[in-house]
Structure 1
Amino acid sequence: MTDFEDRYWTSGDGLRLHFRLYDGDSTRPPVICLPGLTRNARDFEDLAARLAGKWRVLCPEMRGRGDSDYAKDPMTYQPLQYLQDVEALLAQEGIERFVAIGTSLGGLLTMLLAIRNPDRIAAAVLNDIGPEVSAAGLERIRGYVGQGRNFETWMHAARALQESSGDVYPDWEITDWLRYAKRIMALGTGGRIAFDYDMKIAEPFEAPQGAAPQVDMWPMFDALAMRPLLVLRGETSDILEPHVAAKMAARPGVELLTLPRIGHVPTLDEAESIAAIERLLERVV
């Protein structure tokens, strides 16, 4: 596994937030990997290791996830606050232009970053997310976020994930589920294994409008125009529907890759995903 440096930045409201930094060619725009709602920097560990050396890679953890501080006010667990947090990271690191790889929520943040300042996006990957989010998928997310289950062993955790998410990754073996568990969970108090995020991130979903932006997001997507753009979609995704993905792919310069027998979300470890990301990076100038 390629070495990385654990680093930190400070949010506008004083939280100490964590990111992994993988060293690489400083003459190229860095790659910034933005994780999904309940996820952390470990989601990108294999991809970042693969890109490191040729590219500097930053893997930030949003407030309330991984090694980042938990928020004092749970209602700050929402996209516009995450946007401000990421912009504080960019300012600290002196990053003016970058490649964004955004999974789910991270893809929403990529579009928000683009509409705020399109020139800073050198290229982007939107992983199983688009400017329209399926209502059924959002309802499923509301059903599981903040459910604080914990487990005695990693095998118990892996079996529980297999039971709850087997339809998302139907071809996985138990070794895959163990690896997945160690990405999204951590050893907590009392020696129990638990999900590696603040359960209070669920609270904004209880508000009438939920935690997703209630605006027309197509202008945000179109802010990514005229630059290399890859859209990844799991074939059975309940978040990015086929007709939305097709509409995205109709924009000039967009490559759409649908990964068979995968739901929400592709892990970015798939051979097809890796090849597509490498094709995208070859187009970065």
Structure 2
Amino acid sequence: MTGDDIFYTASDGLALHARSYGPSTGAPAIVCLHGLTRNHKDFEPMIAALGMPARFISVDVRGRGQSARDPNPANYNPAIYAGDVLVLLDQLKLDRVHLIGTSMGGIISMILMTMIPDRISRVVLNDIGPIVEQAGLQRIMTSAAPASGFESWSAAAEAIAHAQAVPYPGLSPEDWMAFARRTCRAEDNGLVVPDFDPAIITPAPDKPPGLAARIGMWRLFAKMKPAPLLVIRGGHSDILSAKTADKMVRRHKRSSLATIPGVGHAPLLNEPESLRAIRHFLGETAG
């Protein structure tokens, strides 16, 4: 897609990257935050399909895409990522933004609401909430284990299709190739490798979080109340349960829920149901 690269420097000196799509002035700014192993390209299908008169700023979280790999793996955590996003907003002089956060990007969005609630207009949480289902987390950590490399793009697409067949049963071979090209990169030796630092992958905990951690996450979610909220859930998500999604909507009085049939964790956001929900939710301010 046509866009403009944004290079900036984190507070600790790490070189970071984002990409801007659409008009740079005179349009609402929508900041897109990807999941654990994805990058800024994850939102390109959504941006292209929406066709909204808005500026989309899609971030490469540190350790992914064109952002530098962090020499200290301890910095691969959502609190640090949120601080990086704040640096980006300040560099771009953006006083008010919408947020779209997929999975880990949704956790970053929640943290940003505790940091700069007055600068966030609306939030879309894509298949994430205060409670993350243990089985889904273990599946993600297992399937995300980086491969040593694939000999071709076709081999990469086939491997990704095998690993992600459960959440995305309806994708065609062409879709899987596009998926591979969004999530992998070709190295100088010709190998195709996942486009992230392997150090971001840590073993999933054996047990679900305790009571104190669960209470803490619901308290974090409560900080979302100043901004209207759209919760998107994959119809057979193993990360965000229907029970948790319903509870989120009950607790946030200015929220709505869109359940996307035929997909798991996480919707790609170019599904017709996702597009309708996002257009409706952002239409008043991005239209």
Same fold (TM over 0.5): yes
Secondary structure of the equivalent of 1:65?
Answer: coil
The aligned counterpart of 2:117 is 118
- Note if contact 2:32-2:99 (Cα within 8 Å) is conserved in structure 1: yes
The aligned counterpart of 2:175 is 176
Q: Structure 1 residues 246-255 or 104-113, which shifts more? A: 246-255
Equivalent position amino acid for 1:284 in 2: T
Normalised to the residue count of structure 2, the TM-score between the two structures is 0.91
- Note if contact 1:75-1:204 (Cα within 8 Å) is conserved in structure 2: no
For the structure 1 residues 89 and 207, does the alpha-carbon distance in structure 2 shift closer, same or farther, using more than 3 Å as the test? farther
Question: Where do 1:126-275 residues align within 5 Å?
Answer: 126-203=125-202, 214=213, 216-250=216-250, 251-275=252-276
The aligned counterpart of 2:15 is 16
For the structure 1 residues 209 and 75, does the alpha-carbon distance in structure 2 shift closer, same or farther, using more than 3 Å as the test? farther
How far the C-alpha of 1:37 sits from its partner, in A, is 0.6
**Cα deviation code 1:60-103 (max 9, x no counterpart):** 10111001100011111111111111111111111121000000
Distance in 1, matches of 2:14 and 2:221, equals 29
How far the C-alpha of 1:253 sits from its partner, in A, is 2.1
**Cα deviation code 1:214-271 (max 9, x no counterpart):** 4612222222224331111111111101100011122322111111121111001111
Secondary structure of the equivalent of 1:80?
Answer: helix
- Note if contact 2:134-2:207 (Cα within 8 Å) is conserved in structure 1: no
After TM superposition, what 4+ stretches of structure 1 lie above 4 angstroms from structure 2? Answer: 50-53, 203-210
Normalised to the residue count of structure 1, the TM-score between the two structures is 0.91
Distance in 2, matches of 1:133 and 1:84, equals 23
For the structure 1 residues 257 and 208, does the alpha-carbon distance in structure 2 shift closer, same or farther, using more than 3 Å as the test? closer
For the structure 1 residues 77 and 206, does the alpha-carbon distance in structure 2 shift closer, same or farther, using more than 3 Å as the test? farther
Q: Which runs of 5+ in 1 are unaligned?
A: none
The aligned counterpart of 1:280 is 281
Identity of aligned residues (%): 39
Distance in 2, matches of 1:10 and 1:206, equals 32
Equivalent position amino acid for 1:129 in 2: I
Equivalent position amino acid for 1:261 in 2: G
How far the C-alpha of 1:144 sits from its partner, in A, is 3.2
How far the C-alpha of 1:165 sits from its partner, in A, is 1.4
The aligned counterpart of 1:56 is 55
Q: Which runs of 5+ in 2 are unaligned?
A: none
- Note if contact 1:25-1:54 (Cα within 8 Å) is conserved in structure 2: no
Q: Structure 1 residues 44-53 or 230-239, which shifts more? A: 44-53
Distance in 2, matches of 1:163 and 1:51, equals 29
RMSD over equivalenced CA pairs, Å: 2.3
How far the C-alpha of 1:47 sits from its partner, in A, is 2.4
- Note if contact 2:49-2:275 (Cα within 8 Å) is conserved in structure 1: no
Equivalent position amino acid for 1:30 in 2: A
- Note if contact 1:145-1:199 (Cα within 8 Å) is conserved in structure 2: no
Aligned length: 282
- Note if contact 1:6-1:19 (Cα within 8 Å) is conserved in structure 2: yes
Distance in 2, matches of 1:188 and 1:33, equals 26
Equivalent position amino acid for 2:182 in 1: R
Distance in 2, matches of 1:41 and 1:172, equals 20
For the structure 1 residues 198 and 25, does the alpha-carbon distance in structure 2 shift closer, same or farther, using more than 3 Å as the test? closer
